[in-house]
A and B are shown apart, each in its own frame.
Chain A
Amino acid sequence: MLSVRLEKDVPDVVVSLSGNLDMMTGEVLQETIKSLDSAQVHSLTFSIGGLDFIDSTGVGQLLKYYKRCAAKDICFRIENDNPEIEEILKIIGIRELVES
C-alpha cells in the first residue's frame, strides 16, 4: 500500500510518500506525477521518510523522475529522515546523484 500526498503544488512541488513503494504500488505515484503540469514545475521534491519498504522498481521510478527533471533543468530532491531507507539509497548510489 502506498500513500501519495501532494504537499505543495506547482511550481515547487513537494510529494510525500508513505507505505511501500514497489512494483505493485508505483502506478499510484505515476498518476500523481502525470497530473502535474510539467511546464510549470520549477522543482520536484519527494519526501520519503514515511516509506516502510522500497524495492528496485521503486528506486528505479525515482531515478526515472530524476532523469526527466535533469533533462528539463528542474531541480530534483529526495528528502528523507528515515535512516533505514536512507541506507538503501546510499547502497544503491542514488545519493551520489540526488541531493537530500
Chain B
Amino acid sequence: MLVKMGELQAEDNLDVSSDLPGKAGIVDGRLIVEEPVGNGAWPVIIPCEGVKVFVNGEPVSRPFVVETAADVSFHVLDQKPQSAYEILLSPDKMKVTLRTRFVKGMEFKLCDREPAQKLKLKTEPVRELQPQALDFRQVLKEIQDLKIRTRIDLEALASACRNLEDVEAVIAEGIPAQPPVHGRIERVWELQAQDAEESSEEERVDHRERNRILSVDAGDVLAHWHPPIPGKPGRNVFGQLVQPPEPKNAALRAGRGVKLVSGGTVAVAEKAGRPVIRGNVVSVSPQMIIEGNVDLKTGNIRFKGDVVVFGSVCESMEIDAGGQVEVMGDVCQAQITAGADVIVKGKVISSSISAGQHLVGLFRSLALVKKVIPELYKLSAACAQLQQHPNFSTKDLSDSGAGYLIKLLLEMRFPGIPKSFAKLGEILANINCELQEEEFSDLIARMRGIAKCFVDGGPLTITSREALDAMGNDLQHLAEEMVKYLEYPANITASYCQNATLEATGDIAITGSLAYGSDMVAGGSIEIAGDCRCGTYQAKQTIRVGTAGSKGIGKTYFSVPEGGTITAKQFYPGVRLKIGSDLRVINSMWYDHTFRELDSLSAEAANG
C-alpha cells in the first residue's frame, strides 16, 4: 500500500522501530498474552486438532486474534480407552465365540510454547489410559438371551472379559455329529495277483496264474465289502439335532458275471474273465483268448469283453472289443478298437488303435447334461409359478396333462433346453453300445429316453410337473453314473510305434526306443521313452519324450492345452510346439527342458 506523506497527522509516530508485535504463549499449560506496542501486530492463536478452543465461551476452530488471556479457554481432548466385544455364532450353529477388543487411551496436555505473535497450539501425550474390563454379567446375559442350550464356559468368558487382550474365546460349543465310516470294498483279486507274481518263477499259460493277463475263474472271490458304519447325530448350541453325512459305498453291487454271497458282503465270480470294479459295482469282463495270430484263419474279432492275443494282429485285420485288448506280438496294418485299455507288447506299425472311444461321447454328453439340469429345474419352477397363479386357468392341464404348457415354456422361454437335448441325442446316437457292458448300454438308453422327451413333440408326453422333476432327478443320477465311467479312462501302451494313429481317452505310453511318423491324441498324457520323430502328438495334460524331432526334414508337432507341459531330454530345431493358443517353432537345440509356456522361445527367436 502506498502511503502519501501529506496524509499523515503531525502527532503520528513515524518511528516504526518502536512498534512491537503482541505475543501469546503457553506456560505450564496456561495462556499468557502480551499486548502489542504501537502499531505492532496483535497476537493470533492457531487452534489444532485435539484441543477445543473457546473465546468468551464460544467455540472457535479457525485462527483468531486474542486481546487478553482471560477471554480464551482450552479443553484438551483425550483419546478414550475402548472396551468392545462381539458375540459370534458360527454358520453351522456349532460354536459361540466372544470376540473382544481393548484399545488403550491417552491423556494429552497443551505443550508449553514460547510467546510468539502467531501461537500454534500443540498437544503432547501425558499418560496411557487403560481400558476397562468388560461387564461379565452384561456379556453373559446377552449370550443367555440367544437361548443357548449347551454349557457356557464361564471360565473362558470371565477370562476374556477380564484380561484386557484381544481374543476370540469359544464360549459355547455344540456336540459335533460323529462322522460315518464309509463302506469299503477290498479287492481280493489284486492281492492274489501280487502273490502270484511273487511266487511264479516260470511262465505258464494258465488263466489263473498268468498275472500279466489279470483274470479270475468261476467261484473265485473277487471282493469283500466292509459295510459302512453310520455316524451319530450331534447337537448344535441350540440343542437341535445335527445329522451326520450319509456314508458312502452303502452297498456292494454285482455286475455282469458276479454273484454276491454271505449276505451281500462277498463278490464271487460266476464265470472266468477279467475282474472290473467301477464305483461299487464289481463285474467280470469275459475274455476271448486267441492263442496265435489274428489273421485270415481267425477272421476279424468282435467281442463284448476282453480280447487277449498271444500272437500278432496281422495285415487288414480288425479287433473290436467292448473291454480291454492285449496283444503279445505286433500290430501291423491293422485296426483295434477297444472300450478299455489297449496293450501291445510288440510294435504298432501302420495301424490304427482307439481306446475308450465310447467314453469320448460320454464325456461330451456329460457336459451337456450338467448344463441342462439346472435349466430343467428352472422350467419346473416356471410351471409351478403358473399353476399357482390366480389368473392362470389350469383346467386344461388337469384334463390333458402339463405337456402342452411345458412345450410352450420350452418354445418361448427355454429354447436352449430342446437344443441341448437334440445335441445330446445326436451324440448318444453315435455311441456304439453293441460291445459294451449292459450297465453302460442301459445308461445310454435311459439318457436317450429322456432326451426324446424334450425334442419335437416329446414334451407333450410329459404328464405333470412332478414327472418333469423326476426326469431332472433321474438325469442328475445318470450324470453321477457317467462320472463313474469317466473315472476310468482307457489307455494305450505299446513298445514301438510307426506310421500309426493312436487315440485314447486316457494316457498313451510308448515304452521302447521310437515313435515315428505317428498321430496320437490322448485325453491324458503322452509318454515316449525313446525318440519321437515326425508326426503329431496332442495331449490334454502333458507330453514327455526322450528326444523330440531329428536332424531330418520331417515335421514333429506337439500340442497341449494351456497349463499343460512339454518335456524332452533333447529338442531338435524344427520341432513345433503349441501350448494353449501359442504356437512356436524351435530354432536351436534345447536340452532337458520342460516348456510350460513358450515365452522362452520368443527370447530364443530374438537372440537368434
Please state if B396 and A56 are interface contacts (CB–CB under 8 Å): yes
Q: Give every chain B residue within 8 A of A94 (Cβ-Cβ).
A: 412
Contact of A54 among B393, B399, B411, B412 (CB under 8 A): B393
Please state if A53 and B404 are interface contacts (CB–CB under 8 Å): no
Q: Give every chain A residue within 8 A of B411 (Cβ-Cβ).
A: 63
Q: B74 at interface (Cβ–Cβ under 8 A)?
A: no
- Nearest A residue to B381 by beta-carbon distance? A91
Please state if A93 and B414 are interface contacts (CB–CB under 8 Å): yes
Please state if B392 and A54 are interface contacts (CB–CB under 8 Å): yes
**Least Cβ–Cβ distance between A79 and chain B, in angstroms:** 17
Give the distance in Å from the alpha carbon of A87 to the alpha carbon of B389 in the complex: 9
Q: B394 at interface (Cβ–Cβ under 8 A)?
A: yes
Query: Given A85-B391, A91-B386, are A96 and B396 also a contact pair (CB < 8 Å)?
Result: no
**Least Cβ–Cβ distance between B394 and chain A, in angstroms:** 7
Please state if B412 and A53 are interface contacts (CB–CB under 8 Å): no
- Nearest A residue to B415 by beta-carbon distance? A93
Query: Given A91-B382, A91-B385, are A52 and B391 also a contact pair (CB < 8 Å)?
Result: yes
Please state if B404 and A56 are interface contacts (CB–CB under 8 Å): yes
0/1 per residue, A9-30, Cβ < 8 Å to B?
0000000000010110000000
Query: Given A88-B386, A91-B386, are A22 and B408 also a contact pair (CB < 8 Å)?
Result: no
Please state if A53 and B393 are interface contacts (CB–CB under 8 Å): yes
Count chain A CB atoms within 10 A of each CB in B391, B395, B408, B413 and give the residue with the most.
B391
Q: B390 at interface (Cβ–Cβ under 8 A)?
A: yes
Q: Give every chain B residue within 8 A of A41 (Cβ-Cβ).
A: none
- Nearest B residue to A59 by beta-carbon distance? B408
- Nearest B residue to A94 by beta-carbon distance? B412
Give the distance in Å from the alpha carbon of A11 to the alpha carbon of B50 in the complex: 82
Please state if A53 and B414 are interface contacts (CB–CB under 8 Å): no
Q: B405 at interface (Cβ–Cβ under 8 A)?
A: yes
Number of A-B contacts (CB under 8 A): 65
**Least Cβ–Cβ distance between B516 and chain A, in angstroms:** 57
Give the distance in Å from the alpha carbon of A24 to the alpha carbon of B411 in the complex: 23
Q: Give every chain B residue within 8 A of A63 (Cβ-Cβ).
A: 408, 411-412
**Least Cβ–Cβ distance between A89 and chain B, in angstroms:** 9
Q: B140 at interface (Cβ–Cβ under 8 A)?
A: no
Query: Given A55-B396, A93-B412, are A88 and B404 also a contact pair (CB < 8 Å)?
Result: no
Please state if A92 and B412 are interface contacts (CB–CB under 8 Å): yes
**Least Cβ–Cβ distance between A63 and chain B, in angstroms:** 7
Q: A1 at interface (Cβ–Cβ under 8 A)?
A: no
Q: B409 at interface (Cβ–Cβ under 8 A)?
A: yes
Give the distance in Å from the alpha carbon of A94 to the alpha carbon of B413 in the complex: 7
**Least Cβ–Cβ distance between A88 and chain B, in angstroms:** 5
Q: Give every chain A residue within 8 A of B395 (Cβ-Cβ).
A: 22-23, 55
Q: Give every chain B residue within 8 A of A70 (Cβ-Cβ).
A: none
Q: B397 at interface (Cβ–Cβ under 8 A)?
A: yes
**Least Cβ–Cβ distance between A11 and chain B, in angstroms:** 27
Please state if A91 and B394 are interface contacts (CB–CB under 8 Å): no
Please state if B408 and A56 are interface contacts (CB–CB under 8 Å): yes
Please state if A96 and B412 are interface contacts (CB–CB under 8 Å): yes
**Least Cβ–Cβ distance between B128 and chain A, in angstroms:** 65
Please state if A93 and B393 are interface contacts (CB–CB under 8 Å): no
- Nearest A residue to B385 by beta-carbon distance? A91
0/1 per residue, B425-441, Cβ < 8 Å to A?
00000000000000000
Give the distance in Å from the alpha carbon of A94 to the alpha carbon of B391 in the complex: 16
Q: A7 at interface (Cβ–Cβ under 8 A)?
A: no
Please state if B391 and A84 are interface contacts (CB–CB under 8 Å): yes
Residues of B within 8 A of A (CB): 382, 385-386, 389-397, 399, 404-405, 408-409, 411-414
Residues of A within 8 A of B (CB): 20, 22-23, 51-60, 63, 84-85, 87-88, 91-94, 96-97
A-B contact pairs, 30 of them (CB 8 A): A22-B395, A23-B395, A23-B396, A52-B391, A54-B391, A54-B392, A55-B393, A55-B394, A55-B395, A55-B397, A56-B396, A56-B404, A57-B396, A58-B393, A59-B408, A63-B408, A63-B412, A84-B390, A84-B391, A87-B391, A88-B389, A88-B391, A88-B392, A91-B386, A91-B389, A92-B386, A93-B414, A94-B412, A96-B412, A97-B412
